[in-house]
Every structure is written in structure tokens, then in C-alpha cells.
Structure 1
Amino acid sequence: MTDDRFLYDPDTAVDPLGDAEATRAAGRSSKHNYAKVGSGRPSSLLYNYGPGAIMDLPHFTVMSTGLDDWERMWRKRVDSPPEIHAPRLREVVAKLLRSRNVRLRPHPNQPRKTGLSREGNDLGVPARVFPQWMRCTGCDLLAPLSHFGYTNTHPYRPDQARFEHERCPGRSGSRSGKNASRAAVPARYLLACVDGHLDEFPYDQWVHHWSPCPKVEFPVLRMVDRTAGKGASAVIHCATCGARRPMNEAQGDAGRSKLPRCRGRHPHLDAFELNGCGDATRLMLVGASNLWFPMTQSIIVMPRSANEETSDLAARIRVAFASKPHRLEKYEATGDLEGLRDALDGKLDGPVDEEAIPDDQLAKALGEALTSGESDEDLAKWRADWDPVDLLVPEWNYLLTDPLGLGHEDEASGLTLSHRDRAPGLRKEIVRVLAVERLRKVNALVGFTRIDDVDRVADLSQRMVPLARAARPAWTVATEDRGEGIFLQLDEPAVAAWEAQVEQDQLWLAHRAAHRRNFESRTSDTAGPVDAEDRLRPPRYWLVHTLAHVLIREMALECGYSAASLSERLYAWPGSDGRPPAAGLLICTTAPDSDGTLGGLVQLSEPERLHRVVSSALYRAGRCSSDPVCGMRTPQDTEDFLHGAACHCCAMASETSCERANRFLDRRFLIDLPGSGIGFFGLPG
């Protein structure tokens, strides 16, 4: 069901293969009609170039469309697109999207057997050219896409696809290249608002100061730009009436007053907000880093309890009968479980054997599938109170349980664990070690924001831009990674005692004050009432986080993977109602292919090797090439940085490794540095 908030014309739907199919249906060759214009890894299409984001190709830019168009691509090939099975993640995503029947699906894709094979050409992420105002590199003509020709004639070189200004006259005064074809590039200015809308810049209205051209209805425009890369340096020139206006007038706070109000456009959905928007707009560049912030959730798939199994089965039954819920009511009224089994045969997503489901579990799942679910008010309250840490709690609880033996594997989740003995010399504060020989990590995209990341606001549901036009989407895109890792658990009584001491220390009080200043100075204009203390991580988080970073640096020297390939998963929170305290970490590496990784990381969990890695990591943490400046860095009044004794020389990691963008780090919480004696591990070495 399409959301009634949107104005949408189905006749303008993006269909990259439509022209080729029409040509073949007419009996003509489609030899020179190649829809593919680029490629990307699943992780990049989730975290950098998802629906609504702009991807920079060699000769132009495209925007991934909404999931409605992705569905059309899947349906060209299969009636039942593949699904990724991650029940705990699916449950959270369903609540965030207000859609009980939501499913997790991969990107439309089919791997090629060889570099020159053609299978999978009819699968891919649909995208539209955006922005659609282009500038000729030969004569500076500024015009919509329809004024330029398109070439894409090589089946194995999508990077050669480009738009051209045919018979370009060249610039005035130049005698070379007359009437030649010149490449056209995107005009790089856009309009965006804080509610996630994005629109083309109205160049024709801008140059004429929001009045029509006095000479013609459709004037000839040119964009004169000789200093690319220096902000809004271009000048828009109307070749018909001679009007000129520089783009730098639209920059800054003063420039915003000269821009039009937002029209409420969502180009990835090819739709407008029904009632418009009316927010103030601001000038954006095509490559701006704040143009698209993904909102994702991820889990490491763990074995589930009996109640979780039943709830998951109920969700899958509900999805299987989404179009015919009355049949479920019939099965419940008659108690016909065998008829239900027959009807479910082959229709349940994920690994399940319908015949092996016990009758009592099937009956309970059937009853749960027929419940009305939570109301919109309950879901709104849940989203307001929900903490992403809730996704980590089941992982922590399971990792506290010793595996049954070496290489113990759970078939449903794919998780394989082995207990490791502690080396005699291993720091006593590390009480438990697990080798995670195989793991499966699932990441799902639930929406995105523009201008401000969700980390800066308290209005998640209000500012989240939908990925599809449907009010309750049937699915969302997800990726599945496989890999390995090492789990370390710290001594909880020691951590609790240390944390109580640190909370009274002047260093922690300085970090708390700096965090409040940072929160107040960086909070978005659209933020709701949020206490800065709710966003501050506790001291144990700083400890575990810093330990994870120094271990990543040391492990990268030993395991064969680069530091950027290793990532952290932190379990660090004090106890509360329904949530046991946690102090531990998982260092892992994952890959999006079916084979996972090579085992070099998990080998470091062997007792003597881990002892060497931990000792060396703590020893190196005691020295930084930026000391004493780094080792004594403490935020003072007016300073609002969110780290202490940590820099890129000693403790900071790449953005692919860190879940907090190198915030909440301080080596003084980890070890004793000169002038500080609150390190959890005491002296380094």
C-alpha cells in the first residue's frame, strides 16, 4: 500500500531494462542498449550508496531508487526473492518500520561465472541519473538531461557510459573542436532540508531573481566555473537576456534567505510530500558528506531460546499468509495443524522443516501469528524508549555460556565457538577467552537522514526518510557477512570497583563536562528534549573501547589482516532492570562472501599467542609519539572533544573498525600513564 503522504505518478517508474525489453519485443536488436553503469560491494551499497544516496560514476552521478523499484527488478527473475534469516534483527526492524511482516532481502544481484559472461545482466540496483541538470565541458551549456545524448555501447565497460553534448559549438573565441561531441557533467548544486528532502537547484529562476526571462520562456543558460573544488564558485549566465548571478550568493546563513522553501521532494521515490514541506532549504554540493546518513541495525546471529523460536515461526507464518490471513483463522478454528503444515510447505523463509515442528509449538505460533500486534501508540513509545544496546544483550548472554566442546557449532545460526584456556601470564583482569571460529553478521538498512546524522538528534522516527513509498514496507535491504573473531570477558567485580573509583576522579568529571558542551554545541535544530547524560557512555565503555582499539592495532601485526579489516563489538554497560552488567569485547573480521575469512585472526586466541598480543598491546599503549601532549590531554572549559589520551598515533582506528567514530577513548582508563594512576590494568607491560 502506497503511503498517502506522497504524490506519485506510476507512469514514471524507473525501469532500467524497459527500453531493451521493448526493443526485443519489437523484434529489433538491443545490442547497444546496456543498462549497467557501475558496480559496488554490498557493504558500500548499504553504508554509502543506499536508496536516496548519490553515487559518483566516472562520467556522471546516479541515485539509487526506492525499494519499490528494486522489487520490480527482483520480480523479473523470481516470484520469491531470496531472504536473509535473522529473526532478532527482523523483529527490531519490523518495529522501527511499523511493519509486522517486513522481511530482510539482499541486493538484486547474480554473480558472474567469468568476467565476460552475461548472466545476471537483468539483476541489479535500479538508479536514476541525478542531478539531471548537466553542464557541457566544451561550451558551458547548462541544461536538463534531455538536451544531451547518451552513449553506453560496450557490454563489459560500463565505466565508459556518459552523456555528451553533440555538435558542441565550443566556447566563444575558441577555434578548436567546433561541432564536436563534448562530455557533459552533472551541475553540482542541490537544495536540501532537515527533513530529508532533496531537489534540483532552480538555476533558471535563480539567475533571473525568481522572475521569468524577459525575452523567452526557455532561455539558454551557461555555468561558468573555472575554479572547481572551491565551494560555490560558479556563475550562472543567461545567454538569452545577459543576466548573471554567482552561486556564492546562496552560501551561508545570509544565502539561505535567498533560497526557495522546500517542495518536499524525494527523488529516490520519484514522489513529493502530499502537503508539501515548507522548511528552509540550504545549498548542498553533490559530493557533500552530509548528504546521506544511513540508519542501520546489525546483529551477530546467535542461537535462540524456545520462546524466540516460536515468535520467529509466528512471524514467518504471518508473512506466508500475508495476502490470505483468513485461512489462518480457519486453521485455528478447526485445529487443522496438518492442513497448515501442507499449506506452509516451501513457503516459510529461512531454514525450517515444516514436518519437524512439534504440534504444540506450531499451535502456539499459529495463535501468536493471529494476534493484532502492538498499536501505533505502543510502537511510538517503544521507539522513543528503545536503546540499540538491547540488540547486544542476547549476544552477551549467550557468549557467557561455555560451548559444549571444541568447535561447537549451532547449525541454525552458523555460530561456532571454542573455549580457550588462559595462559598463566595473561592479565588476571581478563577472565575468559572464546575463539569464535565462525560467525554470521547481518546488517539491515531502515532509513536515512540528510544534513544531520541521527546521532545528533532525538527525533529518530520524525526525520527518518523512508526507503519505499509503502506505508508499511514488505521488506528492506540487508547484507550478510561471515567471519571469525576473538571474545574477551573482563572481571565484572574488578570493573565495577574500578568504575566506582573513576566516577569520582577529576579526569572523568572533565570528560563529562566536555561531553555536555559537545552535546549542546552539536545538537541539531530539530532535536527534541534529551539529557546529555543519556548519550554519555559510562567509564567501563571507555575502558573496553580503548582496549579494543589497542588490540586491533596489535592483532593487525600478527594475524595477516589489515587494521581496517578488523572491527569491534563492545559489550559494556552497568547492570539495570532486565539487563545484566557487561564488560567484554569481540574483535572480528567479516567478509560478504559465503566462504567467510581464512582463520588468521582466530588463531591468535591460542593461550600463548593471546598472552603475547595482550602484553604487547598494553606495553605499546603506554607510549605515544605525541607524548607528553597526548598522554596529558584533558578537555578544559570551552573544549568539547570526546577523547582524552588518544590520538591516531596510539589508539584511534579507521572508521571501518570503530563503532563510535573514535570517541570515548582514553589510555589513562586502560593503564597508568605519568601523572595518572587510575588505569584498570595498572602499569603497562
Structure 2
Amino acid sequence: MNRIGCLYLHRTENLMTESLETVGALDPLGDLDAGDSQSATKNRAKVGSARPSSLLYTYGPGATMDLPSFTIMPSGLDDWERIWARRGSVPTVHAPRLLDAVKVHLGPQVSELRPFPWAPKPTSRSKEGDDLGVPARVFPQWLRCTNCDMLAPLTRYAYRNTNPFRPDQARFEHEKCPGRNGRISKRPMPAVPARYLLACPDGHLDEFPYSWWVHEGTKCTAAEVPSLAMHDRSVGKGASATIECRACGLKRPMNQAQGEAGAAKIPRCRGRHPHLGLFDKNGCPNATKLMLLGASNLWFPASLSIVVMPESTAETHETVAAELLKAAGPKRVEKYGSNLDKWREFLDEEQSPLAGMSDEDLAAAIAHLLEPPPSEEELAEQRRTFDPVSLLVPEWNFLQRDPLGKLHKADGKSGLVLSPPDGGVHPGLAAKHVTRVMAIDKLRKVNAVLGFTRIDEMERANDIGQRLVHLSRSGRPSWTVATEDRGEGIYLQLDEETVAAWESMVENPDPNSLWAAHVAAHKRNFDARFSDTAKDIDHLSRFRPARYWLVHTLAHVLIREMAMYSGYSAASLSERIYAWKREGERPPAAGLLIVTTASDSDGTLGGLVQLSARDNLERVLSRALERARRCSSDPVCAHRTPKDPEEFLHGAACHTCAMASETSCERANRFLDRRFLVDLPGAVGLGFFN
């Protein structure tokens, strides 16, 4: 299990903004490969550490991560191969259903999910596992001396990382710094990243062309490679710096690059992907946008996750075909064809786990393997029609089954352990239309990263196949990164017949109804905030039915209440919402799963499981609903209804009563309204629990 992922400085390439010349500045991993990194005084590889969850959702490949003295960017998956090559075998994460969903977005060539390169240390001073870690590049590579204001690429600075047990002391320094008064400093002065970047909607990111900017697109008349300075006396107040050319004396403030007027003054996109160390061959036609280092819209992860249930661990024909290809190789596949006997002989000789499959399943997998690969048009159609709900349906179907008894172990691979409540559902819960309760004593959640977007988050673009930035240079990786979280939870399900009747009442076509106001607000939000590429789709396809608002709001008030009794903080509890209408063969759903998971512990202290007891859960739910009737921001909160031109996607909900931390909510506090839970003044008759 991944606990802490080390960050290792990869070979740094200084891709100059004014030219495409590549200069090798330092190669800490090269030192590590040579075996002399423990005696190196400059190029120690390790520069920090991070939890797998943060490397997945906050600082993944392509994102900028602030270290104490400089900023790095985790590299693409091609550089990770150099790390995995140090091990005889590569561990994988078993989640076939999730792997199938990943293939829809990244292509059928993806054959496995891998964890982060990490190995446990028996002691704090042990060197075991030092050769594993996430490779990263220094980015941005333009630095400013804090003493003399010199603005230059990192090749002009010295790299220091001398203490093997203090990677936080890694830094770049300006040796023999003249200072602002011309006195040569006796000690090196620290340098910090220059904080201006250029980004485009297609996910490209580039350094700001400082020399081009100060000379207004021309070359310096006094020097071929002029010395630059960045004067920044009010750090943190936007584009407040001034760039100066010390050779010719020209100066230009950065605030001229801001806003719509400034957009016409900055260069167009060059198609740079710094996490891959390359530029797009066909360039990029987009205009660029000035970004500050650390901006919240600089990197949005695109990921998928499942709570592993037996249905999601069953090998599909597609996943078995991928394992056959990996084991046999393309030449054997061509040689054996559909000859089942030869495949049997090969699998027996290799002692493969696939040898135990039935002839029917093995033949079906072989037939799938021999099928021609899907065309680009077919792949694009699969991505367009992909519904994230498809990942939830197997979980919902399994949770409809009754456990055989207390601590019922679902199967050997999922790690799922369930317990029914002693004595069945409490009468008080049944009176509130709760039909099923289960304690999830143990569960495993697997998260896989697909790529990332910039400026617009994944769900705000319709052409995600084009906008999604890949993690490998080819754009067709053979694997992707996944994390495993383990923990516990509580499952709660509402009566479908009652929910359906309530839903038909709430979704009133009356234009003056609360539901009509939420629909209209969603249309305004969609038109104002979604990418231009999503304007050709119906906004209702991104809207959620009334039952989702109900279950989602219920999950939030339960999280807030459970945090008072479970021993977990509210931020450590998260929701998984099962709320959709019947569609074709897919059954309707109205339930929720509240879990606590962690990648560095089993997350099974038992606090949530204890709350699932009959009396405890009835008391928690009753108190949560009672608290939902009141908010310290009432009556403002209770009467909050979006009206033109307002576009917020919540009603009677605020951070005082129903909103949760972003680590807990799967919808960023959208689609919440207490009036759908209980009756509030001015909205009598809408509350489900009334």
C-alpha cells in the first residue's frame, strides 16, 4: 500500500522561452543511477514527499507543486519507466471494471493500473526504497534572486541539496550576488521562482517570455543575451512586478499583460507540455492567458474511482484479453490464433492464473483479443457516450443483496466486509422511509488518473477527447496511475416508491416553482461557465434529478452529524451518491454511502461502523434532520432561491448548515437544498421527511 510518495528531481531541461535550445542543467537521477548520490553535494535526487491522494488530486503530473525554495512539476509516465526499471517486477492494482472505464478514455492499449513508485522503510535512516519515487522537473525554470532581483534561467544558479535527511533544504542560490548596491555577497543568496506563466485551453503551459516582453517583441539592441531583472515589491498582489533589461535600460510592467487588453499583447501558444518535455508537433492555434503560479485553474485532474465490489473485481473478456496479450506477446497471439489447446498448453507451462478459467470464458477472451482494434471514430463515440453512473451500477446492484451474517466477507479480492444491523432496520428509520442499512466494516476504493485539463475542469468541456492532456508522450499509454484507499462506512437506502412519488411532486412544471428556479439557474450557470465546446449539448444532461438533490443534501447533514460522534473529522468523511431514475435496463436508485478512507492506514477504527447500530443511527439521523431545520443564517439561507441573473447551484444551503469540505463532497457543494429534506418557512410541503 502506498503511504508516502517521494519526489525525485528528474533531469532538468531548460527549454528557453526565446528559443528551443535544450541545455542539461542537472541530473540528480543520473547521480542516483551511478550509485554516488549519497556522497553528492549538489545533485541529491530527493526533494520532498507527498501522500498518494495529493499526487492524484492536487499535484499530479503536469501540476506545479510548491516546495520551500522552488517549484516542481511531476513528470509524465514515460519518465516513470526509468524508476520502475530498477525493480524486477512492477506491482499492479487489481480493479478490472475501473480498468475497462479507463480504456474508454485512454484507448484499448491500456493493460494495467500501477501504484506510485514507493517502498516502505524499516527505519527512518534506512536507504531501502531510496531508488523509488515520483520523477519531477523544476518548473518554472526562470528564477529571481531575492537579493539583486536578477531574472534568469536556472542554469545561472547553483543547486544545493546537501543533507540527505532534509530534502526541504534543497534550493537554488545566486553565488557572488552583487546585491542592489553592488557589494559582492560573501554567502550565496536564495533564488525563488518567477511566478508568471502562459496557459491555453488545450492544456499547454509555458514560461512567460520576459526578454520578448520587455523588448516588445524585438531583440535587445545592446546585448545578444541581455541580463534581466524583476522588481517585485508587493508579492501576492497580482501582476505587480516590473521587468527591466539591464543592458539597454528598457522597463515594462507586468500588469500590462492582464485582462482582455493585455491578452492581445502576449504571444500565442507554442504548444508546450513541460511535464513531457516536448512541444506539440502541429503547434497550437490558441491565444494564451496570463496565469500566476499556483492559480487554482492551472490544473484540474481527470480521474475515475470505484468502491470495489465483487461485481467490479470479476474479470471481463476485455481485461482477460489484455492479460493474455501481456503474457504471450503479439507474436504468440498471431501464432496461436483461436487454437484453444495451444493457449491451454502455454498457460499451463507459464503457471498463469488464467489457466483455471473455463473453456467458454477463455475462448471468449481469445475471440475478443483477435478482434480488430476499434477505430478512432468508434473510440470517440465511446468517450462521448460514456456515463460515469455506469461505474456506480455494479456497486448498487451488489448492495441490494443481504449479507449472510455479521462480518460477511464478500469475496477474496474486493476486501469488502459487510454486516447487517442487529434486529433489522429501526422502526424510527422505517418511518422515515429508510429501507436498508448496512455497516461496511471494510472496503477498498481504487482511484485512477486519466490526465488533466487546464483553465476548464473536465466536466465543463464536451470535447474531452481533445481537451484532455495525456500523461505520456505518445498519448497512448500502456498503463496509468492508481491509488488504493481502505476504510469503513455506512450504507443507507431510501424507499424507491416513496422517493418516486415525492420526485414527481417536486419536479413541478410550474414556472414559479422552486424546481423551475433551480433549472433556470443551472441554464444560466451552464451558459456562463462552461467551455464554448460544450454549448452544443443540452444543459439538462449535466443537471441532476430531484432525488439526487434529496440524497445529496441528506448525505451532507449526516456527515456533519456523524463527525460529532464517530471520532473522525467531517473533512475525513466522504460521500458516494447512488441517485438516478430508471433508464432502460438500469434500475432506479436512491441511496448513499458515507465512508472514511485513507491510503496510509486501513481507516477501520470502527467509528462509523459503531454508528450503524440500530439505536445509534436512528438517533443520528433524527438529530441531523432536526439541525437541518435551523441555520444561523436563517431566514436568508432558508429563503435562498436563485433568480435571474443569479447562477448558483444550491438553494437553502450554506457553510453553516449543509455544505461540506471539498474533500467530502463529490459535486463541489452543488445540488443542495434543505427544503427538499424538511419543511422550512415559506416552503411547506416539499420536505421528503415530512
- TM-score under structure 1 length normalisation: 0.93
Deviation at 1:367, TM superposition (A): 2.7
Amino acid at match of 2:365: A
Secondary structure of 2:287's aligned partner: coil
Deviations 1:120-156 (A, max 9, x none): 1111000110000000001000001000001100010
User: In the alignment, what sits opposite 1:17?
Assistant: 29
Amino acid at match of 2:502: W
Secondary structure of 1:38's aligned partner: strand
Deviation at 1:96, TM superposition (A): 0.5
Deviations 1:547-603 (A, max 9, x none): 000000011011100000000000001101121111000000101136342111111
User: In the alignment, what sits opposite 2:452?
Assistant: 448
User: In the alignment, what sits opposite 1:106?
Assistant: 115
Counterpart contact for 2:325–2:333, Cα < 8 Å: no
Comparing 443-452 with 306-315, greater Cα deviation is found at 306-315
Secondary structure of 1:253's aligned partner: helix
User: In the alignment, what sits opposite 1:560?
Assistant: 567
Paired residue for 2:310, among 297, 303, 312?
303
User: In the alignment, what sits opposite 1:341?
Assistant: 347
Counterpart contact for 1:250–1:283, Cα < 8 Å: yes
- Gap change, CA 1:621 and 1:387, over 3 Å in 2: same
- Gap change, CA 1:490 and 1:187, over 3 Å in 2: same
Secondary structure of 1:336's aligned partner: helix
Amino acid at match of 1:172: N
Q: Percent identity?
A: 61
Counterpart contact for 1:485–1:586, Cα < 8 Å: yes
Using the alignment, how far apart are the partners of 1:313 and 1:13 within structure 2?
Answer: 45
Counterpart contact for 1:15–1:126, Cα < 8 Å: no
Deviation at 1:99, TM superposition (A): 2.9
Counterpart contact for 1:32–1:154, Cα < 8 Å: no
Secondary structure of 1:601's aligned partner: helix
Amino acid at match of 2:341: G
Deviation at 1:179, TM superposition (A): 4.3
Amino acid at match of 1:545: H
Amino acid at match of 2:29: L
Q: Within the alignment, does 1:469 sit opposite 2:469 as a pair?
A: no
Comparing 572-581 with 354-363, greater Cα deviation is found at 354-363
Deviation at 1:311, TM superposition (A): 4.2
Comparing 558-567 with 178-187, greater Cα deviation is found at 178-187
Deviation at 1:116, TM superposition (A): 1.8
User: In the alignment, what sits opposite 1:434?
Assistant: 438
Using the alignment, how far apart are the partners of 1:330 and 1:670 within structure 2?
Answer: 61
Using the alignment, how far apart are the partners of 2:636 and 2:221 within structure 1?
Answer: 63
Counterpart contact for 1:220–1:239, Cα < 8 Å: yes
Instruction: Map residues 146-545 of structure 1 onto 2, 5 A cutoff.
Output: 146-172=155-181, 178-304=185-311, 308-321=315-328, 323-327=329-333, 329-330=335-336, 332-333=338-339, 335-345=341-351, 353-409=353-409, 410-420=411-421, 421-426=424-429, 427-504=431-508, 506-545=513-552
Paired residue for 1:50, among 60, 69, 86?
60
- Gap change, CA 1:364 and 1:343, over 3 Å in 2: farther
Deviations 1:224-267 (A, max 9, x none): 00000000000001111100000000000000000111110000
Q: Within the alignment, does 1:115 sit opposite 2:129 as a pair?
A: no
Q: Within the alignment, does 1:59 sit opposite 2:69 as a pair?
A: yes
Counterpart contact for 1:169–1:179, Cα < 8 Å: no
Using the alignment, how far apart are the partners of 2:269 and 2:144 within structure 1?
Answer: 24
Using the alignment, how far apart are the partners of 2:531 and 2:307 within structure 1?
Answer: 31
Secondary structure of 2:129's aligned partner: coil
Comparing 672-681 with 576-585, greater Cα deviation is found at 672-681
Using the alignment, how far apart are the partners of 1:482 and 1:577 within structure 2?
Answer: 33
Comparing 398-407 with 533-542, greater Cα deviation is found at 398-407
Using the alignment, how far apart are the partners of 1:46 and 1:307 within structure 2?
Answer: 25
Using the alignment, how far apart are the partners of 2:174 and 2:25 within structure 1?
Answer: 26
- Gap change, CA 1:44 and 1:343, over 3 Å in 2: farther
Deviation at 1:71, TM superposition (A): 1.2
Deviation at 1:488, TM superposition (A): 0.7
Q: Within the alignment, does 1:611 sit opposite 2:615 as a pair?
A: no
Using the alignment, how far apart are the partners of 1:457 and 1:305 within structure 2?
Answer: 28
Using the alignment, how far apart are the partners of 2:271 and 2:573 within structure 1?
Answer: 40
Using the alignment, how far apart are the partners of 2:216 and 2:75 within structure 1?
Answer: 32
Using the alignment, how far apart are the partners of 2:112 and 2:574 within structure 1?
Answer: 26
Amino acid at match of 1:618: L
Amino acid at match of 1:58: P
Deviation at 1:336, TM superposition (A): 2.5
Instruction: Map residues 83-102 of structure 1 onto 2, 5 A cutoff.
Output: 83-102=92-111
User: In the alignment, what sits opposite 1:349?
Assistant: none
Deviation at 1:76, TM superposition (A): 1.9
Using the alignment, how far apart are the partners of 1:14 and 1:580 within structure 2?
Answer: 58
Deviation at 1:335, TM superposition (A): 2.1
Counterpart contact for 1:149–1:163, Cα < 8 Å: yes
- Gap change, CA 1:101 and 1:524, over 3 Å in 2: closer
Deviations 1:313-362 (A, max 9, x none): 233222323x334346416336234313235435xxxxxx3453334333
- Gap change, CA 1:617 and 1:14, over 3 Å in 2: farther
Counterpart contact for 1:459–1:528, Cα < 8 Å: no
Comparing 30-39 with 666-675, greater Cα deviation is found at 30-39
- TM-score under structure 2 length normalisation: 0.93
Using the alignment, how far apart are the partners of 1:63 and 1:520 within structure 2?
Answer: 33
Using the alignment, how far apart are the partners of 2:396 and 2:73 within structure 1?
Answer: 38
Amino acid at match of 1:100: Q
Counterpart contact for 1:98–1:472, Cα < 8 Å: yes
Q: Within the alignment, does 1:664 sit opposite 2:671 as a pair?
A: yes
Amino acid at match of 1:246: P
Counterpart contact for 1:16–1:126, Cα < 8 Å: no
User: In the alignment, what sits opposite 1:654?
Assistant: 661
User: In the alignment, what sits opposite 2:85?
Assistant: 75
Instruction: Map residues 116-131 of structure 1 onto 2, 5 A cutoff.
Output: 116-131=125-140
Amino acid at match of 1:489: Q
- Gap change, CA 1:102 and 1:355, over 3 Å in 2: closer
Counterpart contact for 2:96–2:312, Cα < 8 Å: no
Secondary structure of 2:310's aligned partner: coil
Using the alignment, how far apart are the partners of 2:197 and 2:41 within structure 1?
Answer: 35
Using the alignment, how far apart are the partners of 2:174 and 2:688 within structure 1?
Answer: 66
Counterpart contact for 2:566–2:607, Cα < 8 Å: yes
RMSD of Structure 2 on Structure 1 (CA)? 2.2
- Gap change, CA 1:325 and 1:434, over 3 Å in 2: farther
Amino acid at match of 1:562: S
Using the alignment, how far apart are the partners of 2:344 and 2:327 within structure 1?
Answer: 16
Amino acid at match of 1:416: V
Deviation at 1:655, TM superposition (A): 0.1
Paired residues, what number? Answer: 665
Amino acid at match of 1:456: R
Deviation at 1:469, TM superposition (A): 0.8
Amino acid at match of 1:369: L
Deviations 1:450-484 (A, max 9, x none): 11112222111110001001242110111000111
Deviation at 1:364, TM superposition (A): 3.0
Secondary structure of 1:59's aligned partner: coil
Using the alignment, how far apart are the partners of 2:292 and 2:354 within structure 1?
Answer: 53
- Gap change, CA 1:375 and 1:12, over 3 Å in 2: farther
- Gap change, CA 1:217 and 1:468, over 3 Å in 2: same
User: In the alignment, what sits opposite 1:5?
Assistant: none
Deviation at 1:197, TM superposition (A): 0.4
- Gap change, CA 1:526 and 1:428, over 3 Å in 2: closer
Using the alignment, how far apart are the partners of 1:463 and 1:9 within structure 2?
Answer: 28
